[in-house]
Structure 1
Amino acid sequence: MSQKSPVIVTGGMFLAMIAAMTSFVSFPALLPTFQAEWDLSASTAGWISGIFFAGYVATVPILSAMTDRIDPRRIFLFGMALTALATLGFGFMATDAVSASFWRLIQGIGFASCYMPGLKAVSDAVPDGVRDRSAAFYTGTFTVGVAFSYLLTGQLAQWFDWRTAFAFLALGPLLGALLAMLVLPSQATASSKRAPVSFNVRQVISNKKALSYMVAYGIHNAESSIMRAWTIAFLVFAQASIASRTGEAPAGDPTVIAGLVSLGGLPAILIANEVARRFGRQYTIIAIMIASSLMGVALAGAAAGPFIVIICLFAVYGVLVPADSGSINAGLLEVSDPSLRGSILGLHAVIGFGGAFLGPILFGLVLDFGGGATNFDAWIVAFSCVAALAGAGSLLLWRTA
């Protein structure tokens, strides 16, 4: 394995993953368009958003476990190509909920081939002393990638029709693949020739500390996925509610607002990781989970208020939700056996992105049950359910801290 600077490897893979995520929130970013064009209910919209993570969960255990034997760089590049193909397929072949779900599923498989294998590649390629910081920084691709996807999707959809926008979005993973080929060392996994391809669940779950981080990741991803899937719809609802009372809709493009708020996630992740190093990871994660869930309820309750208040609360919420992700991933790596790291990351991803799959669907069901996405009380009930979930996760972490 050729030696490269940890800064080059981590920074290059950070940019490569952002490029891979150009279409990550393309469906949620244009959700009002798809709801109108395909006559989607909140439950169906939540299903299409969430099925991306079903594809992820179904394949990531195998793909992550394979990185204990196969160069993760190869798996990462395969995922980039598949993501580009799925984005093109959605843009030119999605015509209803069924076809849209299929291409979102394939996008999820592509992402499964990139995200955790990329984390494994970075983890193997950097020295032990900087591994937790590299993991936290790499994890920040999620928030920056989401922000970039919101902004780029919204602008492209304004300049062109949404199908052409998807064609441009498909270029991102191809550019990211080229960058990864330049910065990521080959055969970054030291044990690649010795370890069998297996997903050893028994050995993985025997590590109770690791399991507690996995559960925290599931709750974190459920809340993050809900925010990504329903942010635009919530902001559109808030603007419509204000317009119905005042006769004038407040200014502000929801995709731009969501994108700018998402940018705050990266510094939040890095700061939270440093706080966790000083005061303890599990206690830091518990505090963030409780604060973010309560802020979500406050945001829903403010939907009838001034739009500037909504934006301010959303900005705080958008910083709190991703803040614990770096600490969770870094903590998992700290307590993991290096020889089982691929399998551990595989189960970590199954639990985490299982939450990401179920979160938007259940949130949509609660919205429909409460009266739909145009009902003020339905949003409060839905966000309150998220808060209850975070509370349960915090209790579990407290017991294992």
Structure 2
Amino acid sequence: MCIGQLGNLLPHVAVPSILAQFLIPEWGLTGTSAGLLAGSFAAGYMLAVPVLSTLTDRIDARLILIAGSALSSVATVAFGIFASGFWSGAALWALAGIGFAGAYMPGLKALTDRLEPGDSSRAVTLYTSSFSLGVGLSFLVSQIVAEQFGWRAAFYTTALGPLVMMAVCLSLTPVTPKATTTKLLTFGPVLRNKPAMGYVLGYGAHCFELYGIRTWLVAFWTFVVAHNGGAGVLTPVAVSFGFSLLAMPSSIIGNELALRFGRHRAVSVVMVASACVGLSIGAFAGASPYALIPLLMLYAITVPADSGALTAGMAMSAHPESRGATMAVHSTVGFGLSALGAWCVGAALDASGGPNVPSAWFAAFAVLAAGILIGPLALKWSRGAPTLTTSSLDPDTVK
């Protein structure tokens, strides 16, 4: 499943990868419109995931995973063929996001439905942390292909990735979900599950920061290189790939720390640390790349370190009969705030003088810091509720 997910993620950041070098100058995009274009993927995902993830409580998630992967591949090819400006690009990229809505959380549900009973946090964390490796490959492949063969070729190439997940799905044993009496798109029990909602809102803060930096990382490092003459520094390709590559072990280690020291405590410390590192990067945006690289690599560790712990906490706090619905809310909040993060960073850049001004990047990183600091507040809000687990939960406990 992790290998299949790497394939599904190959198109994931194709648009952010080529924004600064190709789409912004060719289509005359502002920071705000560029953020909206990149965020349209998350917006499409957010609109579709409530239905698609909730359906996994009724039918085998494997079937939804196959359909979502196929749509993701087709929409990515269509972007390469037909996208010619902001509106066509946003519509097609939102369609790709809808396809991914049938791939990511349904993939997690397909995985957890096939695990033995018990603490599944390590398996969930491995799946969620492989997300970062897939994003790194997406950055790497998209930029290399675009530079060699043009940006449209990057979409034709990355569209092959989801076919890997379709092949994986064919090898999975069919599973019939347990019968549920809950109506489709009934999220009341999920919203009343305070422990799970704490993780959901914390995940939203995480996604705001994560997608904000992923959307603008290449543009930021392009600015850093240009601001310092471009000699003797890592390329945006190397920085974006390295940033994503560090995320996988970081997420796994973060979950292990959560198991040792307590999930709320570990996640809150990571989020506060990430805000501090982000503000430091913004404050030194005009400094030498050699001073910024260590800070950026530290940020690559703090940003994803809470991801696996948050998603595993959500999965373990969810009622077994509404786990798909809980995952739907989790993803809807997460990717909704992902789209908002990409847009807010672009808007902050526009409002502060544009992406060629160091102070504008401080404003951008300040926005990211403000977003992630919502996470500890959400976890503190949910702390008073009893912890729910998949082994002890029954319908009467969800209040």
Q: TM-score, normalised by structure 2?
A: 0.93
**How many angstroms apart in 1 are the aligned matches of 2:282 and 2:135?**
21
Which residue of structure 2 aligns with residue 7 of structure 1? Answer: none
- The residue identity in structure 1 corresponding to 2:365 is F
SS, match of residue 23 in structure 1: coil
Q: How does 1:3-14 map to 2 (within 5 A)?
A: 13-14=1-2
**How many angstroms apart in 1 are the aligned matches of 2:155 and 2:323?**
35
Match of 1:97 among 83, 86, 90: 86
8 Å contact kept, 1:66–1:197: no
Which residue of structure 2 aligns with residue 198 of structure 1? Answer: 184
1:376 maps onto 2:362 in alignment: no
Q: How does 1:2-401 map to 2 (within 5 A)?
A: 13-32=1-20, 33-182=22-171, 184-187=172-175, 189-191=176-178, 193-195=179-181, 198-243=184-229, 248-401=230-383
- Gaps of at least 5 residues in structure 1 are 1-12
- The residue identity in structure 2 corresponding to 1:233 is A
8 Å contact kept, 1:297–1:383: yes
- The residue identity in structure 1 corresponding to 2:330 is H
- Count, aligned residues: 382
**Residues 163-200 of structure 1, C-alpha deviation per residue, up to 9 Å, x if partnerless?**
12211111111122112322x3212x531x55565122
8 Å contact kept, 2:205–2:374: no
Q: Which moves more between the two structures, 332-341 or 252-261?
A: 252-261
Q: What is the CA distance between 1:202 and its match in structure 2?
A: 1.3
SS, match of residue 113 in structure 2: helix
- Gaps of at least 5 residues in structure 2 are 384-399
- The residue identity in structure 2 corresponding to 1:225 is Y
**Residues 260-292 of structure 1, C-alpha deviation per residue, up to 9 Å, x if partnerless?**
221111111111111101111111111111111
**How many angstroms apart in 2 are the aligned matches of 1:34 and 1:94?**
10
**How many angstroms apart in 2 are the aligned matches of 1:396 and 1:195?**
30
Q: What is the CA distance between 1:357 and its match in structure 2?
A: 1.1
- The residue identity in structure 1 corresponding to 2:314 is L
**How many angstroms apart in 2 are the aligned matches of 1:42 and 1:194?**
46
Cα distance change, pair 137–163 in 1 and its aligned pair in 2 (3 A): same
- The residue identity in structure 1 corresponding to 2:187 is V
**How many angstroms apart in 2 are the aligned matches of 1:293 and 1:66?**
36
**How many angstroms apart in 1 are the aligned matches of 2:359 and 2:104?**
36
Q: What is the CA distance between 1:128 and its match in structure 2?
A: 2.5
- The residue identity in structure 1 corresponding to 2:192 is S
Q: What is the CA distance between 1:218 and its match in structure 2?
A: 0.5
SS, match of residue 303 in structure 1: coil
**How many angstroms apart in 2 are the aligned matches of 1:392 and 1:190?**
35
**How many angstroms apart in 2 are the aligned matches of 1:289 and 1:269?**
13
- The residue identity in structure 2 corresponding to 1:139 is T
**How many angstroms apart in 2 are the aligned matches of 1:128 and 1:240?**
53
- The residue identity in structure 2 corresponding to 1:100 is G
**How many angstroms apart in 1 are the aligned matches of 2:306 and 2:76?**
29
Identity %: 36
Q: Which moves more between the two structures, 334-343 or 154-163?
A: 154-163
Q: What is the CA distance between 1:129 and its match in structure 2?
A: 2.8
Q: Which runs of 4+ in 1 moved over 4 A?
A: 193-197
SS, match of residue 303 in structure 2: helix
SS, match of residue 155 in structure 2: helix
**Residues 144-169 of structure 1, C-alpha deviation per residue, up to 9 Å, x if partnerless?**
11101011111111221111221111
Q: What is the CA distance between 1:242 and its match in structure 2?
A: 1.1
8 Å contact kept, 2:67–2:102: yes
**How many angstroms apart in 1 are the aligned matches of 2:205 and 2:37?**
20
Q: What is the CA distance between 1:399 and its match in structure 2?
A: 3.7
Q: What is the CA distance between 1:391 and its match in structure 2?
A: 2.3
**Residues 295-328 of structure 1, C-alpha deviation per residue, up to 9 Å, x if partnerless?**
1111122222221221111111011111111000
Q: What is the CA distance between 1:130 and its match in structure 2?
A: 4.7
**How many angstroms apart in 2 are the aligned matches of 1:397 and 1:130?**
21
Cα distance change, pair 195–68 in 1 and its aligned pair in 2 (3 A): farther
- The residue identity in structure 1 corresponding to 2:39 is G
SS, match of residue 285 in structure 2: coil
8 Å contact kept, 1:22–1:170: yes
Q: What is the CA distance between 1:250 and its match in structure 2?
A: 4.1
**How many angstroms apart in 2 are the aligned matches of 1:93 and 1:204?**
40
